[in-house]
């Protein structure tokens, strides 16, 4: 059986999104994807529409419903529209704020007491495994389904 080929693409400023990347994704900066990541999906939308595609956003931080169930958050409007156009599955994971990171957004969030790591790597791994299973059986169904979080 021929193994599927997979493109991994992501946009990050502080490497926390790189630690998640298994598909096309971007950190959320003030609720928006990085411009380079949106540009990639726009440029490649015809090719992406012809293949199973998964997108992810990484970014909700702080205690609250957004980080408790980030997969329930809508994608940014431009990303949501592109995902629908190309038939992509999309989800959101919690993000990370490190007070040592450079950049105005990170400093604003740090000064607001939002430093910490809200990435659920058990959920991320389950999502990646669901994608791999879909690719191996030749379907693109299921990986955008709600994946249980590690806490139960």
* 84-120 pLDDT per residue, tens: 999 999 999 999 988 888 888 888 888 998 899 999 9
Extract the tokens encoding 44.
């490649």
24, part of any domain: yes
**In this structure, is residue 117 part of a structural domain?**
yes
Whether 93 is in a domain gets the answer yes
User: What is the domain range of residue 105?
Assistant: 10-137
Q: Does the residue 152 lie in any domain?
A: no
Tell me if 118 is assigned to some domain: yes
Total domains in the fold of the chain: 1
Is residue 75 over pLDDT 80?
yes
Cβ atoms < 10 Å from Cβ of 50:
10
58 within some domain: yes
Q: Could you report the per-residue pLDDT of 46-62, keeping only the tens digit for each? A: 999 988 899 999 988 88
Q: Pairing between strand 89-93 and 10-11?
A: unpaired
- Work out the average pLDDT over 120-126: 93
The DSSP code sequence of 25-46 is: EEEEETTEE-HHHHHHHHHTHH
Please report whether residue 68 resides in a domain: yes
């Amino acid at each position: 059986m021929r193994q599927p080929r997979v493109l991994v693409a992501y946009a990050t400023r502080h490497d926390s999104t790189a630690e998640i990347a298994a598909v096309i994704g971007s950190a959320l900066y003030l609720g928006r994807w990085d411009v380079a990541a949106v540009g990639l999906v726009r440029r490649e939308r015809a090719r992406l529409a012809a293949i199973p595609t998964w997108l992810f956003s990484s970014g909700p931080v702080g205690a609250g419903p957004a980080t408790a169930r980030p997969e329930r958050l809508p994608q940014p409007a431009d990303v949501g529209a592109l995902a629908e156009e190309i038939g992509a599955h999309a989800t959101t994971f919690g993000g990370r704020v490190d007070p040592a990171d450079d950049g105005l957004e990170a400093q604003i969030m740090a000064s607001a007491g939002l430093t910490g790591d809200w990435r659920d790597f058990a959920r991320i791994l389950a999502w990646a495994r669901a994608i791999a299973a879909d690719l191996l059986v030749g379907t693109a169904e299921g990986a955008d389904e709600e994946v249980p979080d590690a806490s139960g």
